[in-house]
Amino acid sequence: MSSANTRRIGNQAINLGARLDRRRVLEKAPTGIVGLDAITGGGFPKGRPTLICGGAGSGKTLLGMLFLVRGAVQYGEPGVYVSFEETAQELTQNVASLGYDLNKLTAQKKIILDHVVVERLELQPAGEYDLEGLFIRLGNAIDAIGAKRVVLDTLEMLFSALPNPTLLRAELGRLFRWLKAKGVTAVVTAERGDGRLTRQGLEEYVADCVIVLDHRVADQVSTHRLRIVKYRGTAHGTNEYPFLIGRDGLTLLPVTGIQPAYAASTGRISTGVERLDAMLEGRGYYRGSTVLISGSAGCGKTSLGAAFAEATCRRGERALFFAMEESEDQIVRNMRSIGMDLAPWVRKGRLRFHVSRPALFGLEAHLMAMLDTVIAARPSVVILDPVTNFLSAGTKGDASAMLVRLIDFLKEQQITAFFTDLSPEQDGEYSGRQSESVITSMVDTWILLRNLETNGERTRGLYIIKSRGMAHSNQIREMLLTDSGIQLVDVYVGVGAALTGSARVIAEARERAEEVVRARSVTQKRSEIKRNRAALEAQIAALRAEVRAQEDALTDVGAVQAGLEQAGRDERAGIGLMRIAAAPRNSNGGRGTGRNGK
């Protein structure tokens, strides 16, 4: 026993790995229906009956038919469809709209369509009531093609006239046991009852899996929903899940069924605005990320979306623009006024518009229409303008769930999503209540546009609230919509205020004038210093010349003094010689030294 999978509770060792393996024993038969396999953990219980109950128009017959047909086409499991209401011809015509040819599948012995006509008189029990005739007929059809799947649509035609609940329950149990004994995965449809899941109130107790389909209208918006009431032997989703009946059949995209396991790209793409790129590390958004632009009306949200679309087209990629308020021609015309011509990209097929009103369909229909359009267009960028319009097609919770599924789908496809969000301002301050309740926690980059009103003038301000995975500017930029495109300029930060518009221009002009004055003053000071330095240097030179003259004069005086001293010495020496020559000689022939010769 592996210690990693073993846990001790008291003196008992429990092998968690073995427990997990036992959980996987229940085999599933995949339905092939998008989303349904996700919330059921792989499909319906294999070899067991599943009950599908719902009111008229809820999608019971469609769900049963899709389970049968896709099992035969996608999973190689032949099936038998027994209808107690619609004929084989009617079923064939109805399914043809989904792209399936039942006549061809029947000829290939992949399915059998059997219309069982039960007259009301046949529903009156005569003697002991049983279903032997149905069992024989159904058994022959199963054996004829080796069927693995069976659909019975609907049970009310068999049992509606039986007054005895005990007999009814016994025959229902017998029917479900017979289906299990044949080893087929069965789908049985039933009508909703008054305050009960079914009219008889018994089928849900003998079925291994019970699914309820609901069709409701709220605020004039129609929505189909699905809920798994029970599923024996396996975990399953327990919420109500909206689904759509469309040209591809039944599609269900549950929020809880989607796992955020998509890859995160490190590639970057331009925003279409150079200085906005600079605010995002100089490289723009992450590829495959989700961007939200929030702001009140007239802030320039659509313009930023158009700039992003144009930059995408210039890179040779495709962009898909979902417009919920303006027509394609109107957007193209408006963008020309700010230097963006989108028409060439539309003609080249790089830019595609999809225009619709949110109130036209329910949220699920909008979601599926957008997913179909994305799959067909294969864009690298999707722009949705604005997301808050979906609030008119449902509640905030429903809109949030729908947008979460859209975001997850786009992330899985590595498509960069660009959403705009109409958020009102109150007393000049941003109010993000609508967007905060929808998708702000899901987006990777959130940019806020604001209308700034100062000195009787309205300007636009832009700043980045968040941008996951990158350093980004926390500075406010003024956004200008000019003839040459979108420009972001620095606001003028003064003492206690940030100025935009003409106030910024005046302040900048005043600052430039003051700078000119300061520069002129500095120049004048430098000239004055230069003149003073020149005068000082001239004075120093004159003093040096004077000192040199005095030194020269002193040198001359010294030379004269030395000559005089030498002349005095020479004169004294000559006088001394003259005195010696004039002295008298003594008797000894020498010169006398005294009067007496002593």
Confidence of residue 11 (pLDDT cuts 50, 70, 90): very low
Query: Is residue 300 domain-shared with residue 346, that is, in the same domain?
Result: yes
Query: Is residue 336 domain-shared with residue 200, that is, in the same domain?
Result: no
Which residue(s) pair with 494 in the sheet?
A: 497
What average pLDDT does the structure give for the chain?
A: 81
Q: What sections of 160-217 are H helices per DSSP?
A: 165-182, 203-206
Mean local confidence (pLDDT), 104-126: 76
Mean local confidence (pLDDT), 306-335: 95
Whether residue 451 is contained in a domain is answered as: yes
Residues in the chain: 598
d(CA 63, CA 59): 6
Which residue(s) pair with 188 in the sheet?
A: 51, 152
Confidence of residue 506 (pLDDT cuts 50, 70, 90): low
Which residue matches tokens 């058994």? 139
d(CA 91, CA 85): 10
Whether the pLDDT of residue 161 is over 60: the answer is no
The pLDDT value recorded for residue 85 is 85
Residue after which a domain boundary falls, among 462, 490, 518: 490
Whether residue 576 is contained in a domain is answered as: no
Residue after which a domain boundary falls, among 490, 506, 529: 490
> Pick from 64, 44, 68: which is nearest to 54 by CA?
64
Is-contact 374 417, C-beta < 8 A?
no
Query: Is residue 362 domain-shared with residue 467, that is, in the same domain?
Result: yes
Query: Is residue 226 domain-shared with residue 351, that is, in the same domain?
Result: no
Beta strands in 247-394 (DSSP E): 249-252, 268-269, 285-286, 290-295, 319-323, 351-355, 381-385
Where does residue 378 rank: exposed (0-12), middle (13-18), buried (19+ CB within 10 A)? Answer: exposed
Q: What is the DSSP letter of 200?
A: S
Task: Tell me how many domains the chain contains.
Answer: 2
CATH classification at residue 247: 3.40.50.300
| Conformation bin of residue 523: beta by default, left when phi > 0, alpha when psi is -120 to 50 | alpha
Whether residue 498 is contained in a domain is answered as: no
The pLDDT value recorded for residue 15 is 44
The pLDDT value recorded for residue 507 is 67
Query: Is residue 201 domain-shared with residue 334, that is, in the same domain?
Result: no
Which residue matches tokens 């905030």? 396
Query: Is residue 206 domain-shared with residue 324, that is, in the same domain?
Result: no
Whether residue 12 is contained in a domain is answered as: no
Query: Is residue 246 domain-shared with residue 274, that is, in the same domain?
Result: no
- The DSSP line for 201-228 is S-HHHH-SEEEEEEEEEETTEEEEEEEE
User: Residue 547: what residue type?
Assistant: V
The pair of structure tokens assigned to 212 is 């309820």
Whether residue 552 is contained in a domain is answered as: no
Q: How many CB atoms lie within 10 A of CB 42?
A: 17
Query: Is residue 218 domain-shared with residue 327, that is, in the same domain?
Result: no
Range of the domain at 121: 23-252
Q: What sections of 341-389 are H helices per DSSP?
A: 343-348, 363-377
Whether residue 428 is contained in a domain is answered as: yes
Whether residue 196 is contained in a domain is answered as: yes
Residue after which a domain boundary falls, among 461, 490, 519: 490
383 or 501: which carries more pLDDT confidence? 383
The pLDDT value recorded for residue 165 is 66
Pairing mode of beta strands 429-430, 28-29: unpaired
Query: Is residue 382 domain-shared with residue 285, that is, in the same domain?
Result: yes
Whether residue 385 is contained in a domain is answered as: yes
Q: What is the DSSP letter of 491?
A: P
- 167-220 pLDDT, tens digit per residue, is 777 777 888 889 889 999 999 998 876 666 666 656 667 788 999 998 877 666
Confidence of residue 442 (pLDDT cuts 50, 70, 90): confident
- 13-46 pLDDT, tens digit per residue, is 434 344 434 445 689 999 988 788 888 888 999 9
Dihedral (CA of 263, 264, 268, 273) sign: positive
Is-contact 37 43, C-beta < 8 A?
yes
Query: Is residue 283 domain-shared with residue 394, that is, in the same domain?
Result: yes
Mean local confidence (pLDDT), 366-373: 86
CA distances from 288 to 109, 351, 463 (A): 45, 18, 22
Query: Is residue 214 domain-shared with residue 283, that is, in the same domain?
Result: no
Mean local confidence (pLDDT), 324-350: 94
Classified as helix, coil or strand, 188 is: strand
Phi, psi values for residue 461, rounded to 5°:
-120, 145
Query: Is residue 246 domain-shared with residue 272, that is, in the same domain?
Result: no
Which residue(s) pair with 191 in the sheet?
A: 54
Confidence of residue 274 (pLDDT cuts 50, 70, 90): very high
